[in-house]
Amino acid sequence: MHYTPLINKLWPRIFVALAAGVLFRLPFDIIIGLSYSYYVLENYVIYYSVSVASALLCFEIFNQINNRLDRRHSWSKSPNRRFWLQFIYHSIVGIILVLSLRYMVDIFISKQFFYVLRIEILSVLVIVFTILSYEILEYGSYLAYHSKYSLAEMERFKKENAEFRFETLMNQVNPHFLFNSLNTLSSLVYEDADTASKYIRELARVYRYVLENKQNELVPLNTDLDFVGAYIYLLELRFKDMISFDFKLNDEHSDKLIAPMTIQLLIENAVKHNIVSRKKHLKIKVFSEDDYLVVSNNIQLRPVKEYSSGIGLTNIKSRYAYLNNNQVIVQETDTDFIVKIPLIANNESN
């Protein structure tokens, strides 16, 4: 998210400078006029023009200051720190510049320069108050932008989540998997009728789960693991002992929630991107750690990547960014690929 300060834009900068120039000079003249009976404003057009010109020059310099602050102290990183730094820098520049120009006008144009400490203090206070008013306006503008941006991000996450549900229904158990499953089934029908019958039941469980949970954002961990069990049965019949699974889950996490089919998708990705053969067995581990579900596999990448439908870690990350504050963690070592999925508390169980 990148916020652009008001004075970085030309027309807002001109408008704010005009307002600031008038707002600085007007109360100054009123207060001085009431305090000193001998004070008479002559050449008011010149004085107000100089005041506006001073404001324009100030805001041009402020713009340069803001550009430098954006590099190290942007609004998005630390808005409070940025507010005070900007206020301090702007005040120093404003006081020096405005007073210098006023003295020059008094000396060279009106030719009636006089110095009164109370007037100088009043001038400084008016300058600081004017700049503070601008900084508050700037801060309010940033907060409004941030709120609007956050709402837009939430809507984007909702849209992506809805699109993911549809993609999941159409592609999650993809045509390649169905084709391989039917090939395995065709060979089982002639070799072992009982195993073929169970294979059909487990395949039906997989597709039933996909259809039944297409509208659910979250499901209990145990429910998703039951579905994964059916999916693993199909993989084990296909790959025999060339693939192995190791599940170690804490009982305390059994009532936690997870996005449906997340584990299945990670297992499918492991099979899709790695060699599974008699010489190179694929080992997949699923276990709980702190408040995360961890899915890891040994790395033995295929020389040629299979076709991917685009459903993968990017979509999983987007789903959990929408569902939970904790992020999906992806790690890769020399030997293993690891994904940590945040487990979400089930408020209904409390």
Rounded to the nearest 5 degrees, what angle is found at the Cα of 219, between the Cα atoms of 218 and 223?
Answer: 160
Pick from 81-90, 95-104, 129-138 the range whose average pLDDT is largest.
81-90
**Is residue 169 over pLDDT 50?**
no
pLDDT digits (tens, 9 = 90+) for 314-323: 778 877 877 7
Rounded to the nearest 5 degrees, what angle is found at the Cα of 54, between the Cα atoms of 52 and 59?
Answer: 95
Task: For residues 86-102, give the mean pLDDT.
Answer: 87
Question: How far is residue 152's CA from residue 154's CA, in Å, rounded to a whole number?
Answer: 5
The number of CA neighbours under 13 Å toward the Cβ of 91 is 16
Pick from 44-48, 54-58, 184-188, 343-347 the range whose average pLDDT is largest.
343-347
Residue 217: name the closest of 314, 295, 319, 349 by CA: 319
- In which band, very low, low, confident or very high, does the pLDDT at 293 lie, cut at 50, 70 and 90? very high
* Domain 172-349, architecture per CATH: 2-Layer Sandwich (3.30)
Question: How far is residue 339's CA from residue 244's CA, in Å, rounded to a whole number?
Answer: 18
In the chain, list all ranges with CATH 3.30.565.
172-349
For the chain, what is the mean pLDDT? 80
Question: How far is residue 169's CA from residue 162's CA, in Å, rounded to a whole number?
Answer: 11
CB neighbour class for 186 (10 Å; exposed up to 12, middle 13-18, buried from 19): exposed
The enclosing H or E element of 219 equals: strand 219-220
CB neighbour class for 273 (10 Å; exposed up to 12, middle 13-18, buried from 19): middle
pLDDT of residue 212: 84
- What is the pTM for the complete model shown? 0.53
The number of CA neighbours under 13 Å toward the Cβ of 295 is 20
- In which band, very low, low, confident or very high, does the pLDDT at 193 lie, cut at 50, 70 and 90? confident
**Coil, strand or helix at 43:** coil
Helix, strand, coil percentages, rounded to 5, for the chain:
65, 10, 20
Q: Which two tokens stand for residue 45?
A: 């057009």
Percent of the chain at pLDDT exceeding 70: 77
pLDDT digits (tens, 9 = 90+) for 226-271: 999 988 998 998 898 999 999 999 988 888 999 888 898 899 889 9
pLDDT digits (tens, 9 = 90+) for 103-115: 777 777 666 655 6
What is the β-pairing status of strands 336-342 and 329-332?
antiparallel
